[in-house]
Structure formats: C-alpha cells, structure tokens
Amino acid sequence: NVNVVRNTFNCTYVPKIPLHISFDLNVKPYMSCSVWQIVGKACYLIDEFAMKTPQNSTKGVCTAFKSKYFAHKGGLFVYGDPSGRNEDTRSEKGYNDYKIIQSELSMFMPSLRVATLHPPVAMRGNFINEVFANNYGDISINLFENSVYLKNDLLFGKEASDGTKLKEKVKGEDGSTYEKYHHFSDNMDYLMCEAFKREFSDYQNGGGVTTRTPIR
C-alpha cells in the first residue's frame, strides 16, 4: 500500500530519547512487542520483537528487550493490550502481565501507559488510517526499513465486513491455530491511542476529519 511504503525510512535508535514499547499478549505464533521513539508528534518504529516458543512469554520478551537495550538511560514508557491488567493462570496470585513487565524492566524505571479498556477496533483503525494518509493531528508514523511484522500486518491484514480487523486463522506445524496477522498492528494501535489520547478523542468526536485513504 502506498501509504505504508511512503512512510518507510531509516529510523535509527537515539539513546538519549525515551523508548516507547507496546505489547500484544497473544502467544501464538509469537508474543509481540514493538519499540518506538517519539519526537514531538513524530513516531518512529525502530525495532520489533516476535518471541516464539519457548520464549513467547511476557518474561521472555522482557529478557530479549533487556539484552538489546540494557544501556538505555533515556526513559521507558509501556503500552499494550488492556487485558494484561487482569490476573490469570499464567501468573502467580497478585500478578498480571504489566506487573511482570514493571518488575522485569525495573532497571529502566518504566512508566505504565495502558488503557483500562480496549479502544474500539473500527474507530482506532480509521484513526490510524487518517494519521498515515493525512497526518491527522500533526501526528506522523514512520516505519524502519527492515520492519517485517508491522509492515506485513498493514500490507496484508484485511478488514472485516463490520469495519474491525479480519482475524484470519491458520494452522501451525504443531496443529494449533492462530491469527496470522494484526498482532503488531494491535500493539501499534494501543500505543497511538494512548500516547495521543487527546487527538484520538477529538477524532472520535468528529474533529477535523478529512477524506480517508484506507490502508487496511
């Protein structure tokens, strides 16, 4: 899609600028985390973690992140799937995914920016499309050239008839089924809707909407 291609650049890591990381907590085919830096309203995707078994856990992603960015001192903001706030059988009592993330990444003194509810899928998709196509709210999304996962989600993930994301299922070698696309587009959505909460709210209320060029 032309909007994805034209927003692909040589996005490089700048140590003194905060990192913004966002999680999608599905474990098949991998657990995903995207790494961004934000300057003003310009968002730069600089890295992707797609942790497959046996590292496809919250702790596994954090371990991989720490091994690569151990020297980072510029600050860390954490975003992601709101369902990770809930306790479940993957964690000991009193813990959830974000408590694990805060504990595992404590060396970075992370600041949690996770919504209490999922932003509406169709609305957030249209908001992201508007940012890509027309820099809605003066926001820009810039993808690094070697991006594989988010770029594939944006190029090949489909839209369902109700305007949400079509969660196509495929079967893995172990016989399990999983969603082929949208893991990285989901974690991008969580970050964009929370980092630019005011702009997303304005968009939901119909403020300044221009003609959209869909990318999904």
**Residue 23: DSSP 8-state:** E
The counts of H helices and E strands in the chain are 7, 9
Give the span between the Cα atoms of 110 and 73, in whole angstroms: 11
> 75 pLDDT exceeds 90?
yes
Which residue is it, tokens 């304005």?
202
Q: Does the predicted model carry a pTM greater than 0.85?
A: yes
Higher pLDDT, 213 or 133: 133
What's the pLDDT at 62? 97
In Å, how far from its chain's centre is CA 146? 16
Average per-residue pLDDT in the chain? 89
What's the pLDDT at 86? 76
What's the pLDDT at 216? 38
**Pairing assessment for the beta strands 76-80 and 169-171 based on DSSP bridges:** unpaired
What's the pLDDT at 7? 72
What's the pLDDT at 94? 59
Confidence of residue 1 (pLDDT cuts 50, 70, 90): low
What's the pLDDT at 211? 42
Tens of pLDDT, residue by residue over 77-107, are: 999 999 988 766 455 555 799 999 999 999 9
**Residue 39: DSSP 8-state:** E
> 212 pLDDT exceeds 50?
no
